[in-house]
Structure 1
Amino acid sequence: MTDSLINPADSLERQNQKLLVIAEALMRRAEMDTDQYGAAYAQFERAAVLEGQVKDRTRDLEEALDLLNQSNARLADANQETEAARVDLANAIEAIQEGFALFAPDDRMVMCNSRFGMHLKDIKPQLVPGLSFAAYTAMVSTSRHLSLPEGVTPGAWTRNRRKQHARSHSMFNVRLRQDRWLQISEHRTPNGGTVILQTDVTDIMRLEREERDKLLDNQARLIRATLEHINQGVCIFDSNARLIGWNGRLSELLTLPLSQIRLGSGFDVMFERLRAELIFPDQDLPDQVLDWVRKKNNRPPKRFEIRRRGGVVLDVFAQEMPDGGFVISFTDVTAERRSARALFEANELLEHRVTERTIELEEALSVAERANASKSRFVAAASHDLLQPLSAAKLYMASLNADDRPPQDRTIIEKAQSALASVEGILDALLDISKLEAGRTSLDIASVDLGELMTGLRDEFAPAAALKGLRFRVVAPAVSVLSDPGYLRRIMQNLVANAVRYTESGKVLMGVRLRGETARLEVWDTGPGIAEEDRETIFREFQRLHRRASASEGMGLGLAIVERACSRLGHPLELRSEPGRGTVFSVTVPLTAPDVAGPASPPRDQAVRPFQDRGLIVLLVENDQELSRAMTMLLERWRIEVLSASDAEEALTLLDEIGIEPDAALVDYRLDGERDGLELIALLGQRFGGLPCRLISAERSAELRQRCHEGGVELLNKPIDTATLEAFLDRIQPRPPVAGRRNG
């Protein structure tokens, strides 16, 4: 009955009041209403039971009220903690020195601090929670404080900005008015949202420019420009592992904010920032890198690969510099690694196809070789027979060229003679081609004076170059090479003729570069250049890229002769060209040894060592004539040029006189004169900076070893171990050809 009279929604106080009223009414009724069956007592008994139920229900309700009050108290505490955490988060974000904004996965702004957009004052009031990213980029692109790149419209800037937003990580710089700069860094959160950081790097940019202007000279600026234009990220550290140089590509490859790349930053600090973002193939590799950096000198070159999150593969190469610093380069080899996998799969398929085609190609090649041999023999015979009547015709024309002829007749005769000379040149070229293809050429290898050869070519082509208004320059050194004199002259003659013929303005240069035991003969021009797809075509017979050249200027055989002659002589032929800028042809020819007057004899030592082709120059200082002679013979056998001296004074005087900087030095300890070997090595180090040196001595005293350790010099004991000497030479790289350092 109480369930129907009491509303559960009422408060406890209201329910208690109703129960008390009901109980009192029942008691009155029990006292007034009595009958013979004891109905009054029954009602009293029911009232007593009802009162007990009311007490129980009241107690339950009070307990529930207590629990509700406790829950409300805990909820209030939780709300207070949540509000405190929210306030702390907001304060922390507000304390960040950069502009910060968080966008939800649906690309709507969740929150931002007061620094976000502070440089774009005209749109700052509109940067509020709920703003879409599309609206945000549209507002930024039209802000009057944004300095758009030249030729870029707000719409194009917006499209490019949204492309960057689509990436998981992106970082770029934005230029503002009044030469201010912002670095924008975007990172995707695990739930698909986006965190945007805006860093004012104006001071960094200005400071970097000021420091660059103060510290870098012309050579340093050239190096800086080179670093910025290569596709590798490069960072340079001094001997204390402090950052002293880098390029912009480094920041892109490592996704490292520009604000974290600062002059003087320690390697350890930068490396620790990167370890969390990089994946190393070996868990011990990071410690190995740190050990390598902390080693002060004699670090061997170190190469390894790392992966950046996102699948980018970087090839890392670290190498020590002579002053104890080091250089680290990062190369993106992701495409190469993917290509390598694809090539491996394709290679198996290609090998199967090649096997099937080999038999067919061999038969076709045999037929082609027989046809080519027949053609070459026919051209050779025809060219030879045609030269006879051609010579007679030239003689007849010469007899007609008398001074008493009218000017009109003399002009006709001169044109006819020119035409006959062109025909003769074409027939000579055909004859050369036929001989080279038929393999009937007999080579006469001898010593060729390059100065005499190139001087003759200068006299031959100077008038033609002057007639076209070209600057024709020849740099002819006084050196000799081993080659066939006739074919070498024909090669250079065709290259120079080709350069003069197709160069309309500018200059033509013929010169020589000395590289170790070889000379590279080069012909430069400022002609139209040769496109990449045409570089095989130009070496074919009767092929001319520039059709405006007349038949009298050749039939496209000159470069074909050059290629075949170089192949026959074993002289490497190289071509470098840039359309619209010019072309460089180079031919590499071996130099003639001082005591060689004929063909070069094969080397006595057939073992090819890695350092033999580097063109190394070694200074040998040894007062024992027999040992000096033996060491010189051994080094020259290894194709190393030797500068020999008997004492320190003679060595220094020799280097001053010839103006050559050696790549390494081998110095005896006991020398004639006032200075010993260690003192000479110290002087060489001051003069050339980081010159690799070894001290040679038969002494094995502890005092000498201590002096070598203090001077940072390695000792090579007598009798000299050739394997140890080879290992030392194998680590040497030729020093860069700086002006005044080497001849040639």
Structure 2
Amino acid sequence: MALINPQDSLERQNEKLLKISEALMRRVEYGSEQSSAAYAQFERAALLEKQVRERTTQLERTLDLLHESNARLAEANRETEAARSNLANAIETVHEGFALFDPEDVMVMCNTRFCRDFRDTLDMLRPGLPFGEYVDRVSRSRYLALPPDETHARWAERRIRRHQDRHVMFNAQLVGDRWLQVSEHRTPDGGTVILQTDVTDIIRLERQERDRLKDKQAQMIRATLDHLDQGVSIFDEQARLVGWNAKIGALLSLPARRLHLGASFPVLLGHIDGELSFSKGIDRDGFRDWALSKEPRKPLSFEVSHSDGMVLHIFGREMPDRGFVISCTDITAEREAAHRLTEMNEILEQRVMERTLELEDALNAAERANASKSRFVAAASHDLLQPLSAAKLFISSLADKCPEDDDRAILGKAESALSGAEKIIDALLDISKLESGRISFDVRPMALREVFAPLRDEMGILAARKGLDLRIVDSGLVVESDPAYLRRILQNLMGNAIRYTESGRVVMGVRRVNGAARIEVWDTGPGIAKQDQNAIFEEFRRLDATASANEGLGLGLAIVERACAKLNHPLRLWSEPGRGSCFMVNVPVATLPHQVTHAARPGPRPQRLAQSGLIALLVENDPALRRAITILVESWGVNVIEASDADSALELLIDLEITPDALLLDYQLGNGMNGLELFDAITSRLGPLPGAVISANRSEPLDQFCQSRGLEFLPKPLDRHRLSAVLDAAAQAQGRTGRP
């Protein structure tokens, strides 16, 4: 309860406040403890009055806000009702039937045109109608015209299935030849809008236009059929004639009165000339069965022949509506031309066969000549290597006994000339092997440094003689190739570079390109013109006409090209006249870790053979070479027992009753055993012995046979260092075994 009535005037309120103030002052001055408690209660009452007043003010403000919100809500409701009314009026003015379903497929609203054509469903059209019930009622409406093979349940099921799509549009046929187009569209919130449009007029116009086009197409088809040079007949799904041209009757000798609309195919087939004979595995009955088949027909093609020589090609094909088309073409001229062409082909084939036999004879003769040439080259090379090897060994023996520098220089030149002849013979042998196609390669992982190191020593001397700067960039790559042939390829390329470079330098290095090692040989020589870059790979072709025969016969690059082709190592050339050349060989890099086989290099000349007391058995059928080997080996302090063939060697060992410390056996000993067979015969009687087989046959199988028996293979011409290495190894084996 307030101490002051708010309804009083300000004067009356001030008067009451003054009286209250005086009373309070008196109580303060003269009051007791009881009056102090009363004053405290008064203070609390005043504080409560203040709080009540504040709460009253807040409540009044809240009520004002509530009144304002209610006013706005009422305004919004009025606007919503107005919008709903406007929407309903707008929907009502739409010429199509309109209905809106919410995301739960429940009808929200529709206009009066919706389902107007299904008058027996109007009583159900109200908000809250489920979509499934709407479809069910429409499917059972008597105003919906369904196809003969369609049921109400199946139509409703398909309609519900299509409702799952985001956009749906289809035409529904009504009774009385009327059509309704129904389209569905999804709203952003997942609802569905359905529009129903009467398209009866459009369908009827399209039908009229289609009929008109059919009439026009029928006229065009008739004109086309009459214009064709083929006979054509068209049958419907019941095998009845619906279209034809006059040509079909003329070709099949059908009377004009038989060709009429609706004529049966079997009847027409029966009136076809009986003198026609069918071909390609079909007869009249088969043709009739194809036309009357209830299964899908495959295209049919065959020929018929008339007794007067006319040939017709018949072709049949099924149409999409199960009808079929039969065409008939006169191919008499084509068959006669084909017959004449066959006769001409037979004549030509006979001539070609005759020419082929002549070419085969010429080819066989060429192959025999080539084989004879290869055998001649191999045999001649072998016969040349025998005296050549003897000459080199004689010169080597003389070189050790000539103290005079002039004599040693002359012997060096002679040995150089013999080495040049040896290189020419080796080149001829390589060309012969590569052209014969019987060569086999030993392709295996190999370290490039094992090839580069000996080439550096060998080519360094040649480059130093010409004052050239030779540089071989070492590489740690391991590649897949044949070590001997790769060395031969690079040796030829570097030899050519040094031979034709007068000043400057020669460089060999390796680049990695696309998983392969590209070995490049650069020089600063005169270069090769574009028109000559193919000719340099031909046999016996040298661009430098002033070069002597000692510098080769022009076989080096021919060997390089053939060996690269056989090894599948791509070979490229870059050259520019006046700047130099670069030959590039691509070798595949070994991708997996392999055990790299290092080529064995011949050791130095043995120094202690004279003190070893070594006895060597030498079997060589060539007297000059046998004598040369004997002189050279005896100059090293080795005792030599000589024999010319296998039988003499075996008899000599029996007579002397001695076991040699080393065996030096020629492979080709003439009649009787060869070197390997002789080795087996000796070791079977005397036990294992070290030694070597000497031969001009450098084939891989012979080398492998020697390795399998623990023998060294020494190719002719003999290399004195390799020969001394064999004897030194035998001397060391003698020391380990303690043989006297």
Asked if these proteins are the same fold (TM beyond 0.5), I'd say no
TM-score, normalisation: structure 2: 0.31
TM-score, normalisation: structure 1: 0.31
- Higher relative contact order at CA 8 Å, sep ≥6: structure 1 or structure 2? 2
